[in-house]
């Protein structure tokens, strides 16, 4: 047994991977290093990363500017508690987030993962209404096919059938689920599409603290692109029925959809916004929940007088320093043109998949390309096929999708799209 085989054997025996059994029956591929858009395996193979390590590494791996920011920060301090202390990386990052997000968002609460950012947002909404002497407003309105994370409050807002959490249905809070939007991004708007959302608000606004959903792009719930007018109308209805609006931009934020934040397609601002994933360029886990001055100042009048949440690694200096450099790196070049070029290439090179027998739909928005199949993929067999083609993708359900790093070159992206076409051709 060589060293790679020993590593895999130990991993299979002891390491529990995400969305996997124990011991893990699915293949795993040991990584030696990563640089640019390439992942180098222990066995010497090189893979073009077509999903940016779950949509985070928008500038690829080992970027010198992010490495330098981390090294400079580590020379000062890698961590210090945020209770009673503050530091420049967190303050500067908060200011930068306020500058680039919709204007009403003025206050930033840091956390260490997207799921926790959603938990914070939901707790903010409930405690806000408690401060406003409306303690009955404790439930949430969301839309089907959504996904917001794997922690308990976040699970409750995920699709109750297809959201991977139905085993916990008796334990999580029961929320209100509107029908998933059906009018696609480029289609003509139909007002009937928002009818289910409006009906639930009208019937239950006295119980609903906030509506929460992913604007324009539903990600892990199906990578679906829907009409921006749905987001605009939902915002209007939330104001009409006195309900807060939480937008989950964890997967869509920082340019992935073609806008810096997907809510810009609808030209609206939420009461609360969650960001994560690409926030630190995939360097280190970090997330944030942003809200308005009106909401944050309400807490001082409530029973607790403070917001009752405080992650141990909140505002980690190392993560904040790298995240700030990541945003400044994004601002240093014409990322919109780059994402636009990726979108055009994805449209051109994935469209032929539409003629294949196994394919139900092909769709592209920004640096997101999706080939939806008629039947679920077999992960045990399809993942190694992509690796053999020198490509790293992570299909799920009936979806083969790519969300490449923005720095990917056309020939590297063509390697990804060609692998998708060839492998789907054989299904």
Tens of pLDDT along 345-380?
999 999 999 999 999 999 999 999 999 999 999 999
352 domain residue, yes or no: yes
Q: Answer whether the bond into residue 23 is a cis peptide, omega within 30°.
A: yes
Please tell me the predicted confidence (pLDDT) of residue 166.
67
Coil, helix or strand at residue 280: helix
268 is in which domain, residue-wise? 77-331
* Annotated binding-site members: 54, 114-115, 147, 248, 277, 310-312, 394
Question: Are residues 294 and 361 part of one domain?
Answer: no
Question: Are residues 253 and 172 part of one domain?
Answer: yes
Confidence of residue 425 (pLDDT cuts 50, 70, 90): very high
Query: Is residue 230 flagged as an active site residue?
Result: no
* Annotated binding-site members for pyridoxal 5'-phosphate: 114-115, 248, 311-312
Query: Is residue 43 flagged as an active site residue?
Result: no
E strands, 128-260, are: 139-143, 176-178, 208-213, 217-218, 224-225, 244-248
Please tell me the predicted confidence (pLDDT) of residue 303.
80
In the chain, the number of structural domains is 2
Query: Is residue 19 flagged as an active site residue?
Result: yes
* Active-site residue identified among 230, 248, 271, 338: 248
71 domain residue, yes or no: no
- Give the single-character DSSP code of 284: S
Quickly count helices (H) and strands (E) in the chain: 13, 16
Write down which residue in 305, 331, 357 finishes a domain. 331
Cβ atoms of 403 and 56 within 8 Å: the answer is no
Query: Is residue 277 flagged as an active site residue?
Result: yes
Question: Are residues 322 and 352 part of one domain?
Answer: no
302 domain residue, yes or no: yes
Report the distance separating Cα 18 and Cα 21, nearest Å.
9
69 domain residue, yes or no: no
Please tell me the predicted confidence (pLDDT) of residue 150.
87
Query: Nearest to residue 363, comparing CAs of 415, 319, 398, 388?
Result: 398
Q: Please, which residues bridge with residue 35 across strands?
A: 38
Report the distance separating Cα 219 and Cα 186, nearest Å.
17
68 domain residue, yes or no: no
pTM attached to this predicted model = 0.96
Question: Are residues 385 and 276 part of one domain?
Answer: no
- Based on its alpha-carbon atoms, the radius of gyration of the chain, rounded to whole angstroms, reads 22
User: pLDDT for 391-405, tens place per residue?
Assistant: 999 999 999 999 999
- Give the single-character DSSP code of 36: B
415 domain residue, yes or no: yes
Write down which residue in 306, 331, 356 finishes a domain. 331
CB proximity list for 79: less than 8 A, separation 6 or greater: 313, 316, 317, 318
């Amino acid at each position: 047994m060589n060293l790679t085989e020993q590593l895999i054997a130990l991993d299979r025996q002891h390491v529990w991977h995400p969305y996997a059994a124990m011991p893990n029956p699915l293949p795993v591929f040991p990584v030696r290093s990563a640089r640019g858009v390439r992942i180098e395996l222990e066995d010497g193979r090189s893979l073009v990363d077509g999903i940016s390590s779950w949509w985070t590494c928008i500038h690829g791996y080992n970027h010198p500017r992010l490495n330098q920011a981390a090294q400079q920060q580590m020379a000062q301090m890698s961590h210090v508690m945020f209770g009673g202390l503050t530091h420049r990386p967190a303050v500067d990052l908060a200011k930068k987030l306020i500058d680039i997000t919709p204007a009403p968002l003025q206050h930033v609460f840091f956390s260490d993962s997207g799921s926790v950012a959603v938990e914070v947002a939901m707790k903010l909404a409930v405690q806000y209404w408690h401060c406003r002497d409306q303690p009955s407003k404790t439930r949430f309105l969301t839309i089907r096919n959504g996904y917001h994370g794997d922690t308990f409050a976040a699970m409750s807002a995920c699709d109750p059938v297809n959201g991977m959490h139905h085993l916990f249905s008796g334990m999580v809070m029961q929320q209100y689920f509107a029908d998933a939007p059906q009018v696609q991004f480029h289609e003509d708007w139909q007002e009937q599409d928002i009818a289910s959302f409006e009906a639930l608000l009208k019937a239950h606004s006295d119980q609903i603290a906030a509506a929460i959903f992913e604007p324009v792009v539903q990600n892990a719930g199906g990578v679906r692109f829907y009409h921006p007018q749905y987001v605009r109308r939902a915002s209007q209805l939330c104001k009409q029925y006195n309900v807060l609006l939480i937008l989950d931009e964890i997967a869509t934020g920082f340019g992935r959809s073609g806008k810096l934040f997907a809510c810009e397609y609808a030209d609206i601002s939420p009461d609360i916004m969650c960001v994560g994933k690409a926030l630190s360029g995939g360097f280190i886990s970090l997330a944030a929940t942003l809200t308005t001055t009106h909401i944050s100042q309400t807490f001082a009048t409530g029973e607790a007088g403070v917001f009752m949440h405080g992650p141990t690694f909140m505002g980690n200096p190392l993560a904040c320093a790298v995240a700030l450099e990541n945003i400044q790196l994004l601002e240093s070049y014409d990322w919109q043109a780059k994402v636009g070029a990726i979108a055009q290439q994805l449209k051109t090179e994935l469209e032929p998949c539409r003629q294949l027998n196994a394919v139900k739909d092909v769709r592209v928005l920004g640096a997101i390309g999706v080939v939806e199949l008629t039947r679920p993929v077999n992960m045990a067999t399809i993942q190694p096929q992509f690796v053999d083609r020198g490509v790293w993708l992570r299909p799920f359900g009936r979806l083969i999708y790519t969300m490449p790093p923005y720095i990917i070159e056309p020939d590297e992206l063509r390697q990804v799209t060609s692998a998708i076409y060839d492998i789907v051709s054989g299904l």
